[in-house]
């Protein structure tokens, strides 16, 4: 059991749940999901509850954030949601979440949101929905093999708001084949008109082993030009900033205070527990990933824990590398003193190398001056390259 | 033992690559019981791991085995099932039954292995000089190939008796009759004289052993009582220093003798003599006609020249054996240490150590330190050919543990300059070496001029001082399926090749002969030829002369800075085409930077081609959530590793592959 490898007193403030069911496998998606032909929803929820019970002792009390992702969590039947939410309430302390200082997000597909579902979620403590809109343009949705009606997005948001779920985010994808700058602008305008306080805008990524990538390789379409993609990226940042939603991460935008606290926990290398097939957890430097196949997940249990396929023990160098990598993606960046202090524990020359690396980025206008390592707008555009430099500076 | 020399046979096996030379060697050793089947590792004569992996033999070595043969025996009487061993003294014993003599006379077979590739022609011809006979192996499914011919020519030049052997007759696709006809057509041996053999099953091996005894002539009688031994190979051993392989022509070499190398004039004391059987076996002396190894506290391979003559210090021969030539380096490239992660210090010292260590056991590559503004300190190295270059690079990395950036190979040029009182120097201040009479491929420059050697476009002096540039020309032999001849003609003529002849090999294939600049075939010619002939064509080449042509130096400027390591010497008429191809290739291979990078090709300051590498705009993955962290970190670590193989030139980082971009001729 991976949790045993973490320091004895480590407790996670966050919890991720993975619901693998989908209507249809979207062509760009590389998350673990399946189109369920047998009805395995009930056994899945039973098994998930078992795992949640097993993980609970490693959770902070009260718990700070919960995120339910997928797949399509909103596809889960309402009665099963009720059981799941009751179990969460039983095994975890949801006081902060219910008081509004915590956060409980559920990913939703616009077409699966019903009044029953939103009422159930609200009653169970859900404070936030993340709506997978991707685009409001039917042609572009089709290019992504998404078949929902874009009009369902405002409908679903209204249902959530009416039920008392106060916070909402929309997911958009850009750099879709055939998409123009004006098209992106239109999607942004539509999203802003819906009054959301948080947006995630992802450049379309061609993940290996996805249908989209296979189609690209077969030459069925042309991917967006790198320059156009960069222009879109900058346009989005500009437009949303003007609307009061500033970029706090590479692909995430929020009104002040509306940032996704659960995701910030990932990027700040806080600890989170993970339940459900293919879910990945992190507890005080130890990382693990649950077995991805639903059947394996259902069939196997050790004291309630899921079978694990990946495990990374505590390794200060790796932890610092990951902290640099995710921290550079954040507007808040990284605390220089903290980073140098951690690096000094690895080898005495590492702080000097890292400081020189930061200095190079500052001179090139890629990093802001000051006590934090925070990339500028032009720096964020090349955050991966910056991360490679910092990782290189970290190794002796 | 002078009276035993009528029963000595010195011979080599020569073949096109993969025609089964090594398997046949194994089978011969096994048939003479030199190795048990258990010991018969595949390709037993090759000793370096790298060689075994590549399936080729790099260093020649010699093995001595004994064989009983009744002169004039019929094939039916031939047998090989006796046991033969040898003891420390080299005396031979037969252990089976009481009358070994009943099996016939005892023959000593000295089997001299040769490298199989054209790059090592010089070594092949050295090995052949130690022989009286050669077994020419041709694959019965493949037929005569270009290398078969070139190897056969080498053997004919050495006046060797040749036994043509058609191998792999056990294979379903074997066509021994057709192949015998090809051998008759191309080489003039009678088809019925070809022996049919399967090295794999052993079929035909007794007949081959009989032919070796009957057909190959014994060594010539000594012509002087002074010692003369030909050094035909030398290998470096970590414990014993250099081990020299020699063929004794005259006199006798004994342990304790003081020897002199007639070429280098170096003297050594012989501490050990022996033969490989194939296990090393010590002997007290080596007499006329024999081959064996010599250990004499020789520290480095530089002290030994292949082709040199060994004689006694106190009773020297008047004249050396004929035919010593230094190995000719035809292909040159630079090795530089890869830039380290911090972009700062490069470990030139590690490279130096690796290069010097390697030179201990391969004396046929040359190296001299160079400094390039772009790439720092490194070595300019000369090789016998492209394969040789690849082998050296691989061994530097594998055995020397250094990562190198390699520049694209160039050939060695000769330039004609006006003779003055001062030496003519390269832009970096190095005095250019003169080519003088007696050196290979010397043709006198006009009066008042000197002929100089240039191994590197960066070494070319001011163009206004160059009267003429000469480049190496090869005789190229191609064995080509008849229906592909048109394509091959076009390929060769596009590369400034000159058609010489075409001759019939078989119903399906012809032999084409061309003369072509070496520079035109060192890059991708082989691959192109293989592609056009669906793999059925074969080629071989030999440099025959240096000839002048309208050659110019083309500079490549990256971000406005000339990168000497990318400059090339090209034919004027092809310069623009090559320049465009090169710039386009570099545009693909140099990653985008934060700024726009112009890539230009220029001749004497005039830009003839240009491409632009756009500034990169975006390099960041969209998503990095809880489950992505490990994967993403690994991805970035990989990119970090990739950076190691890059070089910083001014503000531009150039990956190693880009230095090979010159290879792309744009055809």
Q: What is the DSSP string of B268-292?
A: EE--EEEEESSSEEEESEE-TT-EE
Å between B135 CA and nearest CA of chain A: 52
Q: At how many degrees (to 10) do helices A350-363 and A336-344 cross?
A: 150
Of B617, B627, B636, Cβ closest to residue A384: B636
In Å, how far is B612's CA from the nearest CA of chain A? 14
The whole-angstrom distance between A302's CA and the closest CA on chain B is: 22
Check residues A236 and A39 and name the one with the higher pLDDT. Answer: A236
Q: What is the pLDDT of residues B56-78, one digit of tens each?
A: 333 446 888 888 888 766 555 55
Q: How far is A280 from chain B (nearest CA, A)?
A: 5
Whose tokens are 């726009």? That residue is: B596
Name the pLDDT band for A329 (thresholds 50, 70, 90): very high
Question: Do A381 and B633 count as a contact with CB atoms less than 8 A apart?
Answer: no
Taking CA atoms, what residue in B is nearest to A395? B341
B553 Cα to chain A: minimum distance (Å): 36
Residue B376 half-sphere exposure toward CB, CA atoms < 13 A: 20
DSSP string, B16-45: STTSSHHHHHHHHHHHTTSS-TTT--TTTT
The average confidence (pLDDT) of chain A is: 93
CA distance A393 to chain B (A): 7
pLDDT at A199: 98
Put simply, the answer to whether B622 touches A392 (Cβ < 8 Å) is: no
CB contact under 8 A, B627 and A263: no
The pLDDT of residue A257: 95
Query: Going by C-beta distance under 8 Å and a sequence separation of 6 or more, which residues neighbour residue B324?
Result: B263, B305, B307, B308, B309
A-chain residues near B625 (CB < 8 A): 263, 266
**Chain B CB contacts of A326 below 8 Å:** 624, 629
Q: Decide: A342 and A306 in contact? Cβ < 8 Å.
A: no
Beta bridge partners of B309: B230
Between A138 and B58, name the one with better pLDDT: A138
Q: What is the ipTM of this complex?
A: 0.89
* pLDDT value, residue B664: 60
Whether B616 and A226 lie within 8 Å, measured CB to CB? yes
Q: What is the per-residue pLDDT for B562? A: 87
Q: Which of B596, B617, B634 to mutate to test the interface with A (most CBs of A within 10 A)?
A: B617
Helix H or strand E segment including A290: strand A286-290
CA distance B202 to B31: 8
The per-residue pLDDT for B667 is: 56
Any B CB within 8 A of A388 CB: yes
pLDDT tier at A301, thresholds 50, 70, 90 = confident
Quickly list H helices, B158-301: 176-187, 205-215
* Residue A10 reports pLDDT greater than 80: yes
Task: List chain B residues with CB under 8 Å of A381.
Answer: 617-620
From A205, which residue of chain B is nearest by alpha-carbon distance? B622
Smallest Cβ distance to A289: which of B594, B627, B633?
A: B627
A42 CA: distance to closest CA in chain B (Å): 25
Which of the two residues, B421 and A293, has the higher pLDDT score?
A293
Q: Which residues of A touch B626 (CB under 8 A)?
A: 16, 266, 272, 274, 280-282
pLDDT at B97: 45
A275: nearest CA partner in chain B = B627
* Alpha-carbon gap: A378 to the closest alpha carbon of chain B (Å): 8
Closest Cβ opposite residue A250 in set B620, B627, B629: B620
Instruction: Pick from A14, A280, A319, A331 the residue to mutate for testing the B interface (most B CBs within 10 Å).
Output: A280
Residues of chain B positioned with their CB less than 8 A from the CB of A251: 622-623
Shortest Cα distance, chain B CAs vs residue A171, angstroms: 12
Judge if the upstream peptide bond of residue B278 is cis by omega within 30 degrees of 0: yes
Asked whether the bond before A296 is cis by omega within 30 degrees of 0, the reply is no
Q: What is the pLDDT of residue B303?
A: 83
Q: Cα B603 vs. chain centroid, distance in angstroms? A: 34
In this prediction, residue B81 carries a pLDDT of: 45
Q: What is the pTM of this model?
A: 0.59
- In this predicted structure, the answer to whether residue A1 has a pLDDT above a threshold of 80 is no
pLDDT of residue A5: 84
- Per-residue pLDDT, averaged over A240-269, amounts to 96
* Cβ within 8 Å, pair B640-A392: yes
Asked if the C-beta of A364 comes within 8 angstroms of chain B's C-beta atoms, the answer is yes
Residue ranges of chain B whose pLDDT lies below 70: 1-5, 34-61, 72-103, 115-122, 323-326, 339-346, 361, 373-374, 642-647, 661-667
pLDDT of residue B422: 78
Whether chain B has a CB inside 8 Å of the CB on A380: the answer is: yes
Q: What confidence tens digit (pLDDT) does each residue in B514-523 have?
A: 999 999 988 7
Q: Quick check: A380 and B617 CB within 8 A? A: no
Q: Does A71 touch chain B (CB under 8 A)?
A: no
- Which of B622, B636, B643 has its CB closest to that of A250? B622
**Contact at CB, A227 and B632, closer than 8 angstroms:** no
Range A325-331 average pLDDT: 96
| Residue ranges of E strands in B505-645 | 509-517, 538-549, 551-558, 561-562, 568-571, 597-603, 606-613
From first CA to last CA, the distance across chain B in angstroms is: 62
The count of CB pairs under 8 A between chains A and B is 102
Q: Do A393 and B636 touch (CB under 8 A)?
A: no
Q: Measured between beta carbons, which residues in chain B are less than 8 angstroms from residue A228?
A: none
Residues of A in contact with B623 (CB under 8 A): 202, 205, 251
Set of chain B residues whose Cβ sits within 8 Å of the Cβ of A281? 626
Reading the block at residue B93, the tokens are 């014993």
**Residue A197 pLDDT level (bands cut at 50, 70, 90):** very high
Helix (H) or strand (E) holding B500: strand B498-504
Reported as a single tens digit per residue, the pLDDT across A347-394 is 999 999 999 999 999 998 999 999 999 999 889 999 998 999 999 999
């Amino acid at each position: 059991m991976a949790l045993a490898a973490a320091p004895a007193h480590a407790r996670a403030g966050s919890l991720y749940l993975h619901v693998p069911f989908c209507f249809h496998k979207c062509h760009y998606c590389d998350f673990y999901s399946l189109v369920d032909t047998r009805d395995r929803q009930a056994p899945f929820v039973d098994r998930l509850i078992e795992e949640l019970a097993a993980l609970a002792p490693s959770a902070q009390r009260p718990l700070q954030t919960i995120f339910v992702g997928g797949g399509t969590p909103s596809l889960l039947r309402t009665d099963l949601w009720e059981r799941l939410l009751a179990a969460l309430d039983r095994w975890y302390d949801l006081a902060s979440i219910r008081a509004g200082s915590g956060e409980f997000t559920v990913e939703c597909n616009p077409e699966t949101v019903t009044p029953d579902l939103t009422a159930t979620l609200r009653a169970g403590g859900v404070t936030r929905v993340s709506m997978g809109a991707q685009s409001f343009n039917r042609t572009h949705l089709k290019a992504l093999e998404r078949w929902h009606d874009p009009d369902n997005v405002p409908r679903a948001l209204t249902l959530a708001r009416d039920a008392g779920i106060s916070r909402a985010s929309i997911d958009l994808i850009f750099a879709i084949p055939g998409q123009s700058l004006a098209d992106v602008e239109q999607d942004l305008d539509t999203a802003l008109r819906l009054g959301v306080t948080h947006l995630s805008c992802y450049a379309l990524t061609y993940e290996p082993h996805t249908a989209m990538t296979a189609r690209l390789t077969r030459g069925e379409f042309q991917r967006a030009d790198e320059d156009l993609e960069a222009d879109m990226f900058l346009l989005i940042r500009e437009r949303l900033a003007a609307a009061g939603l500033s970029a706090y991460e590479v692909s995430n935008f929020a009104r002040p205070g509306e940032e996704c606290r659960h995701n910030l926990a990932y990027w700040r290398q806080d600890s989170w527990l993970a339940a459900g097939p293919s879910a990945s957890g992190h507890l005080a430097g130890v990382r693990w990933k649950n077995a991805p196949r639903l059947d394996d997940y259902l069939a196997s249990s050790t004291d309630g824990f899921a079978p694990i396929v990946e495990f990374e023990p505590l390794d200060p160098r790796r932890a610092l590398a990951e902290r640099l990598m995710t921290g550079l993606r954040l507007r808040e960046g990284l605390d220089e003193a903290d980073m140098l202090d951690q690096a000094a524990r690895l080898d005495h020359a590492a702080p000097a190398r890292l400081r020189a690396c930061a200095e190079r980025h500052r001179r090139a206008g890629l990093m802001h001056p000051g006590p934090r390592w925070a990339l500028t707008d032009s720096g964020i555009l090349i955050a991966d390259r910056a991360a490679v430099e910092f990782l290189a500076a970290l190794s002796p | 033992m002078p009276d035993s020399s009528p029963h000595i046979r010195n011979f080599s096996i020569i073949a096109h690559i993969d025609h089964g030379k090594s398997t046949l060697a194994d089978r011969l050793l096994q048939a003479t019981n030199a190795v048990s089947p258990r010991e018969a590792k595949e390709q037993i004569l090759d000793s370096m791991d790298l060689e075994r992996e590549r399936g080729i033999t790099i260093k020649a070595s010699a093995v001595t085995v004994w064989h009983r043969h009744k002169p004039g025996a019929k094939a039916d009487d031939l047998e090989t099932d006796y046991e033969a061993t040898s003891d420390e003294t080299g005396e031979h014993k037969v252990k089976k039954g009481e009358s070994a003599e009943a099996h016939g006379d005892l023959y000593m077979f000295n089997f001299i292995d040769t490298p199989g590739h054209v790059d090592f022609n010089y070594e092949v011809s050295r090995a052949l000089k130690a022989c009286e006979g050669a077994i020419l192996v041709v694959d019965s499914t493949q037929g005569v190939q270009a290398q078969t011919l070139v190897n056969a020519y080498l053997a004919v030049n050495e006046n060797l008796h040749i036994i043509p052997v058609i191998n792999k007759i056990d294979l379903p696709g074997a066509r021994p009759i057709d192949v015998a006809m090809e051998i008759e057509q191309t080489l003039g041996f009678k088809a019925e004289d070809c022996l049919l053999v399967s090295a794999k099953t052993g079929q035909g091996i007794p007949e081959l052993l009989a032919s070796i005894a009957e057909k190959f002539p014994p060594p010539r009688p000594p012509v002087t009582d002074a010692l003369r031994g030909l050094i035909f190979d030398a290998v470096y051993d970590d414990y014993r220093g250099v081990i020299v392989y020699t063929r004794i022509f005259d006199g006798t070499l004994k342990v304790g003798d003081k020897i002199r190398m007639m070429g280098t004039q170096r003297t050594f004391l012989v501490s050990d003599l022996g033969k490989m059987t194939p296990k090393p076996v010590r002997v007290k002396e080596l007499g006329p006609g024999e081959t064996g190894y010599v250990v004499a506290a020789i520290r480095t391979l530089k002290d030994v020249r292949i082709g040199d003559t060994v004689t006694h210090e106190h009773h020297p021969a008047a004249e050396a054996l004929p035919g010593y030539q230094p190995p000719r380096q035809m292909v040159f490239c630079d090795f530089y240490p890869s830039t380290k992660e911090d972009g700062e210090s490069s470990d030139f010292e590690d490279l130096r150590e690796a290069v010097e260590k390697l030179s201990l056991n391969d004396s046929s590559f040359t190296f001299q330190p160079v400094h390039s503004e772009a790439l720092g300190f490194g070595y300019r190295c000369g090789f016998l050919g492209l394969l040789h270059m690849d082998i050296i690079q691989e061994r530097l990395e594998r055995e020397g543990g250094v990562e190198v950036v390699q520049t694209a190979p160039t050939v060695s040029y000769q330039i004609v300059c006006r003779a003055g009182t001062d030496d003519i120097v390269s832009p970096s201040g190095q005095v250019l070496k003169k080519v003088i009479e007696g050196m290979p491929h010397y043709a006198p420059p006009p009066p008042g001029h000197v002929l100089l050697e240039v191994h590197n476009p960066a070494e070319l002096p001011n163009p206004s001082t160059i009267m003429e540039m000469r480049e190496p020309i090869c005789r190229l032999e191609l064995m080509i399926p008849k229906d592909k001849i048109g394509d091959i003609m076009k390929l060769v003529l596009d590369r400034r090749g000159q058609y010489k002849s075409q001759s019939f090999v078989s119903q399906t294939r012809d032999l084409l002969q061309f003369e072509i600049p070496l520079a035109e075939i060192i890059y991708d010619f082989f691959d192109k030829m293989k592609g056009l002939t669906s793999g059925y064509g074969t080629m071989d080449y030999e440099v025959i002369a240096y000839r002048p042509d309208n050659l110019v130096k083309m500079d490549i400027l990256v971000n406005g800075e000339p990168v000497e390591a990318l400059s090339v010497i090209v034919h004027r008429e092809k310069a623009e085409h090559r320049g465009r191809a090169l710039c386009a290739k570099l545009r693909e291979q140099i990653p985008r930077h934060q700024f726009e990078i112009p890539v230009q090709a220029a001749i004497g300051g005039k830009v003839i081609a240009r491409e632009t590498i756009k500034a990169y705009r975006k390099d960041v993955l969209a998503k990095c959530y809880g489950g992505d962290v490990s994967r993403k970190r690994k991805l970035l670590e990989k990119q970090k590793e990739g950076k190691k193989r890059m070089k910083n030139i001014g503000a531009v980082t150039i990956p190693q592959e880009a230095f090979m971009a010159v290879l792309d001729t744009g055809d």
